[in-house]
Amino acid sequence: MPTDAAPRDAGRGSLSDVATSDAALRRFLQGLPGVDAVGLEARAAALGTRSIKTTAKAYALDLAISMIDLTTLEGADTPGKVRSLCTKGAHPDPGDRSAPRVAAICVYPDMAATARQALTELGADGINVASVATAFPSGRASMAVKLADTREAVAAGADEIDMVIDRGAFLAGRYLQVFEEIREVKAACGAAHLKVIFENGELATYDNIRRASWLAMLAGADFIKTSTGKVAVNATPPNTLLMLEAVRDFRAATGQQVGVKPAGGIRTAKDAFKYLVMVNETLGDDWLSPHWFRFGASSLLNDLLMQRQKLATGRYSGPDYVTVD
């Protein structure tokens, strides 16, 4: 696919005034180059065939573990389940303290205080508390409710907020409304980082994913995120590759670096390696860090630990080696 996905005059200040009106923002977003779907999917497929050699596999396993937002987002979540998840995130392999900690524990706002307390008691201050907000996963609420949701999570100890965009407004072409909502939620976050979730499976087209990426970054997103994990189509190699290319082009145009978080459906070490290869080949070492790339996952950690143990001992452990989430 074409690599020049940024506006040709982006480096000459054109990005400073694109959100001054709905018409200007629409003109900018609809003026982005169209996505070559065939080229995008072929590129993602080709990168997916790359293998990681044994000498680099241990590094890749530990890197992937350190990038996980270990997640529980169920109506049946309890304080005990969240505390257990925090323990697992802080000590993924109780039998091997060399295993790295995860990047964050991701929960609903009402569980953020529980997660913060549990991590403090574990002495795991390096693990962030991430909280979904803004009427996750649907985003169907008033702005007042969305902002209250965000402020509640931050007040409870969340270091990161994962917000969902109003897909209905975006698909109806009300880009400025979505832009302003992101800006307001970003302000409500205070010092907390903001991840903006697109729900790519509902955006339907690659062109829409590219537009949503630029819209969120222009509005101040610290991360852009593929999905909630609550719909049929979540993170895929092509839609994540498209977002990686968007953050690359955004940095080239503005000098600002934005992170990427694929979420939903990434369950095995083999899956994770494909994404790490995409990051390395598309963005380079700058993004190969939990500061700039995350996996939204609940079961991925289990397989990474199994593969890590296999690499160390030459055999797989029994089914009780890792806890089942």
Exactly one of 225, 249, 274, 303 is catalytic; which is it? 225
| Amino acid sitting at position 257 | Q
Active site residue 261: yes
Please give the pLDDT value at position 14. 64
Going edge to edge, which strands form the sheet with 68-71?
Answer: 259-261, 223-225, 193-197, 160-164, 128-133, 104-107, 68-71, 295-297
Give me the catalytic one of 69, 93, 162, 271: 162
13 three-state secondary structure: coil
Task: Indicate the pLDDT class of residue 315, thresholds 50, 70 and 90.
Answer: confident
Which contiguous run of DSSP H or E holds residue 89? helix 79-90
- How much is the pLDDT for 216? 98
SS3 state at 265: coil
Set 261, 271, 274, 303: catalytic member:
261
pLDDT band for 51, please (50, 70, 90 cuts). Answer: confident
User: Could you read off the pLDDT of 65-79 as tens digits, one per residue?
Assistant: 999 999 999 999 999
Burial tier of 55 (Cβ tally within 10 Å: 0-12, 13-18, 19+)? exposed
Q: Which domains does the chain have, with CATH numbers?
A: 36-313 (3.20.20.70)
225 is catalytic: yes
Residue 227 has φ and ψ, to the nearest 5°, of -165, 170
- What's the CA gap between 256 and 253, in Å, rounded? 8
Distances (CA, A) of 169 to 53, 179, 224: 45, 10, 18
> Does the structure show a pLDDT above 60 at 33?
yes
Q: Report which DSSP code applies to 33.
A: P
Structure token digits, residue 125: 């201050």
Q: Residue 100: what pLDDT? A: 96
CA distance 212 to 221: 11
Known active-site residue 88: no
The pLDDT tens digits for 188-229 are 999 999 999 999 999 999 999 999 999 999 999 999 999 999
